[in-house]
Structure 1
């Protein structure tokens, strides 16, 4: 199955911004992570803060530091519609379910985006975007060396998208289901222990492929558009995304073609400059 680019559909934004505590009396960088309204954050969105923390700590810094000027960073997730003018973008992507007019920003500081479909969307709005692609979750093996080791000791698993959970609960699937509502470390541990990952969770696919575990996108419902999967796929240097429509078909198809591009440019594009030291 070969699928063409899917247009951005019309739907209002869902979820809420990250809950904020009492703001500190000094400028900081706020790292956005999406949380569903009244629900539990899924493991992919948990990774936003994990990854930013890990990159910063590689240079001896912390997110909580006072900086020269306040800033807002959007990284992991299909959260571009939550961006505001002046925000910095590193690896974020368009959510195909959100209507274009709900993207209310006029200017962004873009360092990298998830893939070329997101780049085209932004460039169509007159925003400069470098040719630096990739979801930051692809960097986890490098940022957390030795923390998670692929073993392939367990059989195939299925990691559903958050919005697929009600449907999945009604099915008798032939392989174990790993809930995306578990902690990010638990989900990654289950993925690297598996010899094959089937997923409708985008980050289930990303984590598997980052660790070299064969993976296949399984599209059980139409609750998500194809946009983010195609965007990620193209951002990793691949074309012609193919997918299964059942677990059985996914097992038969096997893994998708592997990633062969380097993500050094993505890591190099991290906006360390946002954490510039404050004036004396």
Structure 2
């Protein structure tokens, strides 16, 4: 039995009429939420581990995203965060959740206040993407645009026609390439800010019409920074300029990865996914 690598995929409404929003369409692939399984599979490949559960039982791992409210008893958490706009951010009682790392100290404080045992290991796992997947090794990319705007999924319609905007539903690799080749990144997408930090690209968060500031503060504090001033619009972002660079040591987050959940690829009947073997880095995760 394989370990389920959880990532949030909401269903799109078939019609925009509120009373009919219960009618849902296809699953949406928001690029930030898609990064979780990519990071985990890249790390598994570097460790020569497959996705099969070492226990032979059902296991589930939550990584990238404000997805703690989706956790179930027995789940493992590695780098996930609390969703500040959810009424019940944690639905699992103390002792029934295995927490290896969280996105930031705000998530840790909330979980600890509910009796959960949470180590002081912080970091959004998306920060590791260039360490574990060669396709995302884009540091030093030639700058092709002055500015890139990446909205949160819930803000996407507002920026649909902006000439500098990209949809958060685009392929994660395509968005990473756009970010790495930009001089300045602006957006309400948290993971646009994360990838900008990965590639050392100056960035500024944009006020969201739908998101709580909790996840942003959690992320920034987890990378050694105060919550920066949010730009009110794109012109305001240009005036404010870039936020302070991230201070992040990847080793504690890598060391906290629950590799004991996974069976060795050489022992697994399925082995590690072939699509990820091709993207292993020769230097592993160092």
Question: How many angstroms does 1:66 deviate by?
Answer: 5.0
What is the CA–CA distance in structure 2 between the aligned matches of 1:240 and 1:139, rounded to whole Å? Answer: 22
* 2:9 is the counterpart of 1:35: yes
Task: Indicate which of 236, 242, 255 corresponds to 2:229.
Answer: 242
What is the CA–CA distance in structure 2 between the aligned matches of 1:222 and 1:176, rounded to whole Å? Answer: 19
Aligned counterparts, 1:23-102, within 5 A: 27-37=1-11, 38=25, 39-63=27-51, 65-70=52-57, 71-100=59-88
> Is the 8 Å Cα contact of residues 151 and 195 (structure 1) preserved in structure 2?
no
* Count of matched residue pairs: 247
What is the CA–CA distance in structure 2 between the aligned matches of 1:74 and 1:238, rounded to whole Å? Answer: 24
Question: How many angstroms does 1:45 deviate by?
Answer: 0.9
What is the CA–CA distance in structure 2 between the aligned matches of 1:259 and 1:68, rounded to whole Å? Answer: 37
What is the CA–CA distance in structure 2 between the aligned matches of 1:66 and 1:269, rounded to whole Å? Answer: 17
Residues 1:251 and 1:34: Cα distance change in structure 2 (over 3 Å): same
Greater than 4 Å deviation, 4+ residue runs? none
* 2:149 is the counterpart of 1:161: no
Question: How many angstroms does 1:259 deviate by?
Answer: 1.1
Question: How many angstroms does 1:148 deviate by?
Answer: 2.1
Q: Residue by residue, what CA displacement relative to the aligned partner does 1:166-215 show, whole Å, maximum 9, x if unpaired? A: 2223xx64x51011100111110100010110011000000011110111
Moved more, 136-145 or 177-186: 136-145
What is the CA–CA distance in structure 2 between the aligned matches of 1:28 and 1:202, rounded to whole Å? Answer: 29
* Partner residue, 1:148: 138
SS, match of residue 89 in structure 1: strand
Task: Indicate which of 244, 255, 258 corresponds to 2:242.
Answer: 255
Moved more, 154-163 or 233-242: 233-242
Task: Indicate which of 121, 125, 132 corresponds to 2:114.
Answer: 125
Q: Residue by residue, what CA displacement relative to the aligned partner does 1:99-149 show, whole Å, maximum 9, x if unpaired? A: 12x632112111000001100110011001000000000011211247323
Q: Cα RMSD over matched residues?
A: 1.8
Question: How many angstroms does 1:157 deviate by?
Answer: 0.7
Task: Indicate which of 186, 197, 210 corresponds to 2:185.
Answer: 197
Output the TM-score relative to the length of structure 1: 0.84
What is the CA–CA distance in structure 2 between the aligned matches of 1:253 and 1:69, rounded to whole Å? Answer: 52
Structure 2: 5+ residue stretches without partners: 12-24, 269-286
Q: Residue by residue, what CA displacement relative to the aligned partner does 1:12-47 show, whole Å, maximum 9, x if unpaired? A: xxxxxxxxxxxxxxx321110100123411101111
What is the CA–CA distance in structure 2 between the aligned matches of 1:133 and 1:93, rounded to whole Å? Answer: 10
Output the TM-score relative to the length of structure 2: 0.82
SS, match of residue 62 in structure 1: strand
